[in-house]
Structure 1
């Protein structure tokens, strides 16, 4: 089902019902998704390379939360991560905020999300430095998710961690053996203490929170499946149009995969509430959802190359992903972009 059609049908009621809760960034994302590939964003002129037939197409909005855009950016990000992949066991560590803090997070998203990144990374770095088997700086890729599979507000951070560290003095890779990284309860305890301290330093008024938080640490094999999973929600929003089952005029039904049972479930809610569930996850403008740390950071390319040399990784420089070309409607040959026409509102 087309999400744009859902937005058109329920937008007025949604903006009335949630007027006091919609942020400017969420409102902008809603407008971009609604106007994507319309005259609002201008158009491009195309010419067939074979029969020279010409046609026009509207431009995409380019918003990272748009359900129509950003597939190319997702592919490019995954390709860059694959260039960093090492032939070792990988682990995924997940830190989740308790329910009691979510109201505070909503009011101070950029500050709290940044603190979550910093505290999650520092917690893992401390455990790696103090571990007798590792004892060195770890590399990790962290991705912020704010939704559950039912689309409820559920802020958590996933970190994909290679199982090992580099001994720089000996130029030797210290491999982590087995399928165990760190104790989950100890990770949760340290993360809780550091994040609460960080939020108090920010001057936030915190509610009473539980003493035990949730951290999950599991082996994910060679890393590629975990990176593919994380790449799904970097762009294009939190729901796939394929998962919108029906719209009866007042209620939307969508399906999701239950993380506990592994079975497909459905959820039926009003159209206005569905739009809120989707657009409440729009991040503040300019906020980076994914960050690299340690030897996977962009400033540590020399160290990463050294690790790849030590592990005898054959780096195959793959060509940059090419955007799919437009096909001629008459002869199916590729078409070239010959001109961009800006939207009329820019010339006024």
Structure 2
């Protein structure tokens, strides 16, 4: 399998010479972090067997949220937290897409535009929930920002998973809406557009010459919501491309595959190595910017409210948690026992006299 680190190692010089003037500091940091991930350049951690005296050193992962083989544990933890907040209601996936005419503005001011997208998407859904005849209350939502299409093109959009249920604070009621219809997508798009343009007039960024009258918002029924949350969680911290989708790296070009959103069939695309790295690194978010956010009664500060809903409605999200696969554990190569991390972030100079494997220890099932 071709790793992203090997592609960076091969084309880094060409990439920097061609795109140096377009790179932000956080993108350069991501480039260097992914290149060093789990290699002889990275620090190591010491792992010891709990059952025997076996000890070894393992290269550290870079931990960068754009690295395709890091942060799997963070993904699992995020999914578990969101599933624990599930409520007994039908769930919907609302997708708010930024028009092509505003994408250059988002590239120039990513922190500002992405923040406006989050705020306006939530304000739109909150207003619809309060005005809906069957709901008439405060909603809750889980929002995740994606900046790429499956082809790796720049395509900022926000997925918002929300239950068709609200909390009526005035009457202290839990109210739900039945059926596979939540809100009209064209009406959502009109309100989202109006709110975005209002915020832009307040912030006064450089407006494009033309702003389309019709924007795109999708509202899709997703059942109990657990599958939608797992789908978003799987791609939350793993970068924009899986390494198994990098098919070849020859003659100065990289070939990768992607799934066409309409036909659901895999397509391939071949681009110069430097251009491929730009396709990947253009999606690095500003430092400290939160890609996933919770709103309303699904906010982390509302744990007591969610717990009360679970008790009163006799809803147990633990049933769904039991279906999730547990994180694989390190296994001892000698006896098969569990390996425990003893020290972390050990500089290479301290263990130069001891062999360090170039790959992580493989999980092993002990019978």
TM-score normalised according to structure 1 size: 0.93
Match of 2:60 in 1: 59
Deviations 1:197-243 (A, max 9, x none): 11221120111111000010110111011111111221020100111
Alignment partner of 1:185 is 2:191:
no
Deviations 1:269-294 (A, max 9, x none): 11111111111111000000000111
Segment drifting more, 171-180 vs 128-137: 171-180
Shift of 1:40: 4.4
1:224 maps to what in 2? 226
1:244 touches 1:254 (CA, 8 Å); kept in 2? yes
CA contact (8 A) 1:153 1:281 kept: yes
Matched residue SS, 2:21: coil
Q: TM-score, normalised by structure 2?
A: 0.89
Q: Name the structure 2 match of 1:18.
A: 19
Specify whether residues 66 and 40 from structure 1 end up closer, same or farther in structure 2 by C-alpha distance, changes over 3 A only.
same
* Greater Cα shift, 286-295 or 230-239: 230-239
Shift of 1:322: 7.2
The answer for the alignment partner of 1:98 in structure 2 is 99
- 3-state DSSP class of the match of 2:124? helix
SS in 2 for 1:134: coil
Deviations 1:113-140 (A, max 9, x none): 0010000000000011111111101111
In 2, Cα distance between equivalents of 1:137 and 1:229: 25
- The equivalent residue for 1:255 is 257
Distance 2:326 2:110 in 1: 35
Q: Distance in 1 between the 2:105 and 2:349 partners?
A: 39
State the distance in 1 between where 2:67 and 2:98 align.
26
TM superposition shift of 1:341? 5.2
Equivalent residues in 2 for 1:62-77, closer than 5 Å: 62-77=63-78
Secondary structure of the residue that 1:57 maps to in structure 2? strand
Length, aligned pairs only: 346
**1:332 and 2:336 aligned:** yes
Give the stretch that moved more between structures: 43-52 or 61-70. 43-52
Structure 1 residues 340, 183: CA separation in 2 closer, same or farther (over 3 Å shift)?
Answer: closer
1:194 match: 195
Deviations 1:274-320 (A, max 9, x none): 11111111100000000011110112222222322332212549799
Using the TM superposition, give the Cα deviation of residue 4 of structure 1 relative to its aligned residue in structure 2, in angstroms: 1.3
Structure 1 pair 335/306, CA: closer, same or farther in 2 (3 Å)? Answer: closer
Secondary structure of 1:20's aligned partner: helix
- In structure 1, distance between residues paired with 2:22 and 2:189: 31
Question: Kindly tell me: are residues 126 and 341 of structure 1, through their superposed partners in 2, closer, same or farther at Cα, counting changes over 3 Å?
Answer: closer
1:166 and 1:307 in contact (8 A); partners too: no
Distance 1:128 1:335 in 2: 50
Please list the CA deviations of residues 67-103 of structure 1 after superposition, one character each: whole Å capped at 9, or x if unmatched: 2210000000000111011232110101101111111
CA distance in 1, matches of 2:147, 2:317: 34
Gaps of at least 5 residues in structure 2 are 351-367
Residue 142 of structure 1 is matched in structure 2 by: 143
Alignment of 1:81-160 (within 5 A): 81-160=82-161
Q: How large is the RMSD of aligned CA atoms in angstroms? A: 2.1
CA distance in 2, matches of 1:345, 1:48: 23
Q: Alignment partner for residue 342 of structure 1, among 338, 342, 346?
A: 346
Q: Deviations over 1:106-165 (max 9, x none)?
A: 110001100100000000000111111111011110100000000000000010010121
Give the equivalent residue in structure 2 for 1:174.
Answer: 175
Residue 316 to residue 226, structure 1, CA distance change in 2 (3 Å):
closer
User: Using the alignment, how far apart are the partners of 1:171 and 1:130 within structure 2?
Assistant: 17
> Which moved further from structure 2: 313-322 or 211-220?
313-322
| Structure 1, gaps ≥5 residues long | none
1:302 to 2:276 alignment = no
Query: Match for residue 285 of structure 2?
Result: 283
